[in-house]
Structure 1
Amino acid sequence: MLALRAEWTKYRTVAEPWWLLAGVVALTVTVGAAATSAAQCQSAACGIDPAQVSFTGIYLGQAVIAVAGVLAIGNEYSTGMIKLSLTAMPRRLTWFFAKAAVLTAPALIASTMAVAGSALAGRLILPGDGFTPAHGYPSLTSATDLRAAVGAVFYLTLIALLSLGVAAAVRDSAAAIGLVLGLLYLFPIAAALVSNPPLSRHLDQTGPLPAGLDAQATIGLNNLPLTPWQGLGVVALWAAGALVLGSLVLKYRDA
């Protein structure tokens, strides 16, 4: 509890994380609203997933929440505060996972606000763009849409934790941001460029961004590389792996 209290005090008294999380909400909702305004469905065969259109802003919002996750520990290394933190809390793993827990709460709140705002924009805009019962969209507030929204919230939160783990392992904010963004965007780019369909599908199954998109899908589920919950599970494995790696580096290397 002492570690949690100390990390929460540290987190809430610094303005930068809150501005970044506010940016996640603003960017995700703004881009999502723009995408829903541009989407058009003029027939029952348009094949557009309204949930994924509404959550288009996550493509950019994830980059901001990744930066927030990196800086949650990267700033301590860049300023030298890490030595003071570990002196005050010698049990390094306790300190690290307290930091992860403190990051999770505001990241989850920001993700929920971002996804809720995007979903609301989609609910208000998409029916006017042809996403109606006549075109095979009886409701934009079904259980499937709710599952997609929950998947989107957890996806953004897990990206923040993945970024924290990478930053703990790399110990350099700029390098960690580059690695996380490369990890997010490299897999879908590589999958699009690869001419071998099985290999392309495998890349979509293993990359955190393609897997996260599967978690947000509401149509064509049988044709996806992964089921929505499998997709979210892949992202969770990436986040857990990064946290374990970061904790091991923290434990066995000098600060």
Structure 2
Amino acid sequence: MARALPRPRSPLSTVRRWYEDELGWPTTGTEPVELLTGLRFDVLEMPADAGRAVLRRMPRTGPVALLRPVRGGKRAEDRPKLLLLIAPGGAEELPEILEWLEWGALAADLTARGAGERMPAPAPPSGGTASGGCGAREAAGWVRPPRPGYEAENRLPSTGFGTGIGDGGGAPDLVRLVSAAATECLRARLVRARNRQSDRAYGDQPLAFSNASRMSAGTRPRSFTL
């Protein structure tokens, strides 16, 4: 009697196994594979040009992924995005942090994915097939890949007592990270406008300056003046 040969392992199942077994990150049971946010981590999302500047300013931020739309376009949401992993709960805190820093007008550029949401699963850094598949809207790849044993929640940017010191890796606290990201989002807008890639063509909101940007320019807000 002929024996059935074992079926070859699917590249997508290899991707799912790496995240679930090596990192302990929950994934969706669908193809393409996606990572569930709000459980082991949240995601801070921004335009790639702003995100690259943030990475230059903060060399230790935790895992970072580059997200590209499968189909190009001229809308703001069709630009490549950088996804910075932050501690769970950070997505819920983002609007309040932006308001506190007076960067509320940048909410369209600086967003987050948290509980009940997901992100595309990049191919493992050891190689393999990316998780993009038929019908996928986004494809992602690691810029700073996670390492087993390093991506625990207390080693990702967060707020609370003791943050900002880092846990062996020197990760910034969430407020510092959001402040830097908001500043770079504004600078990226100005560069795009200067290059005649106006934000109006992408349907973005008007430019706005926060207290932080005015202080860096040497003009202190009245509320900060003694």
TM-score by length of 1: 0.24
TM-score by length of 2: 0.26
More strand by share: 2
More helix by share: 1
